[in-house]
Amino acid sequence: MAELDWSNLSFQYRKTEAIIVSYYKDGQWSPLAATKDFDFHFSAFAGVFHYANACFEGLKAFRGADGKIRLFRPDENAKRIRRSGGHLDMAVPSEEMFIEACMMCVRENIEYLPPYGYGASMYLRPVLIGINPQLGIASSTEVLFAVMCAPVGTYSGAKILTPGTAVLARNYDRAAPNGTGAFKIAANYATSLHPYNLAHRQGYRELLFLDPATKTRIDEFGSSNFLAIKGNTYVTPLSDSVLPSITNKTLQTVASDFGMTVEKRVVPVEEIAEFDEVNACGTAVVITPVCSIDDKPTLESTEVTRTYHIPSGDECGKVSRKLYDRIRGIQDGLEEDTHGWCFEL
């Protein structure tokens, strides 16, 4: 097993043993293959460099308390990358091909799969990239599908379930109305880099985007979906410009299992004041609690017009903790996987 400090992993790049690749050309995919070459070799005129012909996914593998290795919901990631790639009019791998590539990646890099008990996991990053040379604006006809991985801890480097602050992005949009916000394509993330950097430099952990049309409703955080707890109700925004998070989908099911009411609906900004708990939710850490959210005229402004203090404060909310523990219990093999979410290697 790789000699790493498993208890102090952050969410960052680490070179592993191999990546899995397949190329689409002339109407067919090449067989999946493992390679130790971590450099891609294709034309400088590839569409990905000029027109962002690229989409990607993120999922995790876990070494359970019972010694079994589990991939968490790779079938959902397969469906989503097919949807994203299809929106770019690129060739996409079948669901079966996607899952096999992920399993191959884990096997080829098995010594980098963290042991059970450290709260760590193996993060897998499947990518779909347009690689044929082109000058005109067009969808790619030749495509690279690859899956790479890295052992990771928490996304922000903070202790798991430690609340952080957030700020509203009133003068920046993550996506346009009727745009690509609901697809996991590379271009969506490029637009959030500058405002995210501004927020981080001001000490905020998260940046909360509003709906791009009216700026009156909550959309999602820059890194993940928004969820809130209001009494016995789980609330998450309904918006055409929000990425359909697999983690959010999973949490909603778990909340229903616990007898909670799940509301996926329009969420006015002012309703933040009525929530008992607020979290960002995504693959990286399942949930990241938020203790306060600042509202400013602009992200660059030093003036804070309103601060929403979340009642759960400096602790993860009790309901959020319960939801988190249930999902992590399933991923670690400590609780029964009643929904069949885990794929065992």
pLDDT at 7: 87
| 31 DSSP 8-state letter | P
3-state secondary structure 196-236: HHHHHHCCCCEEEEECCCCCCEEEEECCCEEEEEECCEEEE
In 296-340 the beta strands, taken as DSSP E runs, fall at 306-309
Contact between 114 and 151 under an 8 Å Cβ cutoff? The reply is yes
Q: Could you tell me the end-to-end alpha-carbon distance of the chain, in angstroms, rounded to an integer?
A: 18
- Domains of the chain (ranges; CATH) run 6-152 (3.30.470.10), 164-331 (3.20.10.10)
Report the C-alpha gap between 21 and 102 in whole angstroms. 10
Give the DSSP letter string of 9-30: -BS-----S-EEEEEEETTEEP
Tell me which amino acid residue 277 is. E
| 133 DSSP 8-state letter | B
Taking each helix axis from N to C end, the angle separating 74-87 and 95-108, rounded to the nearest 10 degrees, works out to 120
Contact between 101 and 147 under an 8 Å Cβ cutoff? The reply is yes
The number of residues making up the chain comes to 345
In the chain the beta strands, taken as DSSP E runs, fall at 19-25, 28-29, 33-35, 54-56, 59-63, 69-72, 121-130, 143-152, 164-169, 206-210, 218-221, 225-230, 233-237, 261-265, 277-282, 286-295, 306-309, 342-344
Report the C-alpha gap between 118 and 315 in whole angstroms. 21
In 170-319 the beta strands, taken as DSSP E runs, fall at 206-210, 218-221, 225-230, 233-237, 261-265, 277-282, 286-295, 306-309
pLDDT at 319: 97
The candidate with the shortest Cα–Cα distance to 73, out of 56, 87, 55, 57, is: 57
Report the C-alpha gap between 224 and 189 in whole angstroms. 11
Active site residues: 184
What tens-digit pLDDT sequence spans the chain (345 residues)? 678 999 888 889 999 999 999 999 999 999 999 999 999 999 999 999 999 999 999 999 999 999 999 999 999 999 999 999 999 999 999 999 999 999 999 999 999 999 999 989 999 999 999 999 999 999 999 999 999 999 998 655 556 789 999 999 999 999 999 999 999 999 999 999 999 999 999 999 999 999 999 999 999 999 899 999 999 999 999 999 999 999 999 999 999 999 999 999 999 999 999 999 999 999 987 999 999 999 999 999 999 999 999 999 899 999 999 999 999 999 999 999 999 999 999
pLDDT at 1: 64
Query: What is the distance, to the nearest Å, from the Cα of residue 285 to the centroid of all Cα atoms in its chain?
Result: 9
Instruction: Give helix then strand counts, H and E, for the chain.
Output: 6, 18
Provide the whole-model pTM.
0.95
**Cα dihedral sign, 100-101-103-107:** positive
The candidate with the shortest Cα–Cα distance to 76, out of 196, 288, 243, is: 243
Q: Strand pairing of 121-130 and 306-309?
A: unpaired
Report which secondary-structure segment, H or E, holds 101: helix 95-108
